[in-house]
Amino acid sequence: MTGTPLMAFYALVGAYLVLVCGIGLWNYRRASTEEGFLAAGRSLGPVLGGATLMANQVSAGATIGIVGFHYFSGFSYAWSWPLVWIGWVVAALFIAPRIRRIAGLTLPDYLEARFESKAARAIAAVVVLAVYAMMLSAQYQAGGLLFGAIGGMSYATAVLLVAGITTLYTVLGGMYSNAYVGLFKAVLLVGSYALAVPYLLSHIGGVHALGEALTALDPRLSANWFGWRQLLAISLAMGLGLGAAPYEISAIYAMQSKRTARLAIGWSFLFQACVGIGVLVFGLSMRVAMPQLPTPDLATPVLGMSVLPPWIGLLVLLAAVVTFTRTGGAILLTVASAVSHDLYGALLKPDASDRSKVLVSRLSVVAFSAIPVALAFRQFALVNFVVIWAAKLMVSFLFIPVIVGLNWRRATRAGAVASMLGGTAACLLWSRYGSPYWFGLDPAEAGVLVSAALMVGVSMVTRPASDGTLETFFGSRADTESA
């Protein structure tokens, strides 16, 4: 991209930077308390909450990585979308209503409250820091690829630019910034995709012509590139991880009520359905239009530069920029909460003032942003491979302690700690040594199964939580029996 289109793109990016800075400054005073900075004062309604949930989940792994996956492998990966959305059903029915029974700010808040364990809080905070460094590096890597492809900007400069935008609005407005930038992201994604998809289908000659062209290139592109076991494993990691994702739990805590959280999940599902259709059509259309791209992750940048009409292409490219900077902001905020709220405020200095915890949060946002920059400079793999790997670790670590702890009274402190550590260890072992995977299990499947076995087995032989804790999450036994 050169000349006027390039200038227009950078003008849009500049306008976006001004917008997010304005949002951050507007909310700076409201984010001066810990509850304001980390949970937006628990003020999010259904639509704003739904946009926040969607904006957390639809990351560079979708607008860059999954477009590249569809370019690489064709249609079959589309089956992962409805399988992933099962995670939202689990969250709406089994997670959101119960976890809102405590006025927490972070997922480790829940773990300590439910299992009466500071160790569970500390372990969770440390693992969140490690895994989210990988996830944030994927957002920065996507930004480096996009800016480099569009305007000839060096990869390192582009990574630093994306990290700077992400850090700036997050450090200013915290969860308030994340929520309102998330709403802008939802409107921009849905609007730009609604314009681009009909154009692409019309340009190619319709769905049938698209299928024929893909089959002519490689019959697997319109059939089954991925087997059902591969798709199930990927979907398990992504979908089950939805309900236990620390940044989604933080967003649920930021909503007005349990009912609001459920409605917000519905709105998020709607937003993601629109994005899913667009991502699928983008990847398939680009494989037909330009089948020899040097890397699949370039499908979105080249689509916006060379295939779509200029004004639609600019909107699609801006939507990609907003996507990875906004998801990056959610990751940074979650990391900041792990440092300031869970490690500093809850464990190292319990008597810390609200003001000092907010200061530590803001300093953590700035400091932690540097680690994923260094990882992004390495460019380990395709963007979506990085996201999937991080999701597999997170679901192995957190899904069972969250879902079982919220829905089984007998789950214990020892069971939760064994479940977290054992599930993570199994995922790592399967990834390192199980190739081909032992017993035909993907690392995420192995991690969840081991985590579940340890949760149940250890809980059955150890002491349960106190009656007061169990009543908080389940009500009294008399209420349960009468129900």
pLDDT-derived band of residue 187, with 50, 70 and 90 as boundaries? very high
Task: Tell me the helix, strand and coil percentages in the chain, rounded to 5.
Answer: 85, 0, 15
Most confident of 36-40, 82-86, 246-250: 36-40
Residue range 226-242: mean pLDDT, rounded: 70
Asked if the model's pLDDT at residue 461 lies above 80, the reply is yes
- Please report the pLDDT score of residue 90 as a whole number: 80
Say how many Å lie between the first and final Cα of the chain, rounded: 64
pLDDT-derived band of residue 103, with 50, 70 and 90 as boundaries? confident
Q: Measured between alpha carbons, how far is 299 from 301 in angstroms, rounded to an integer?
A: 6
pLDDT-derived band of residue 434, with 50, 70 and 90 as boundaries? low
Q: Which residue has the higher pLDDT, 184 or 237?
A: 184
Q: Measured between alpha carbons, how far is 134 from 164 in angstroms, rounded to an integer?
A: 17
CA-to-CA separations, 322 to 15, 165, 293, 325, in angstroms, rounded? 12, 10, 24, 5
Asked if the model's pLDDT at residue 192 lies above 90, the reply is yes
Instruction: Answer whether 330's CB lies under 8 Å from 55's CB.
Output: yes
Where b means 16+ CB within 10 Å and e means fewer, 366-405 reads eebbebbbebbeebeebbbbbbbbbbbbbbbbbbbbbbbb
Residue range 189-195: mean pLDDT, rounded: 94
Tell me what percent of the residues of the chain surpass a pLDDT of 70: 92
Count Cα neighbours of 318 within 13 Å in the Cβ-side half-sphere.
Answer: 28
Strands (DSSP E) contained in 296-349 are none
Residue range 256-268: mean pLDDT, rounded: 90
Per the structure block, which two tokens stand in for 321?
């920029």
**3-state SS assignment for residue 196:** helix
Residue range 89-106: mean pLDDT, rounded: 82
Asked if the model's pLDDT at residue 371 lies above 60, the reply is yes
Residue range 199-226: mean pLDDT, rounded: 88
Residue range 145-170: mean pLDDT, rounded: 85
Q: Which of 175, 166, 172 is nearest to 29 (CA)?
A: 172
Distance from chain centroid for Cα 89: 16
pLDDT-derived band of residue 370, with 50, 70 and 90 as boundaries? confident
pLDDT-derived band of residue 382, with 50, 70 and 90 as boundaries? low
Asked if the model's pLDDT at residue 413 lies above 90, the reply is yes
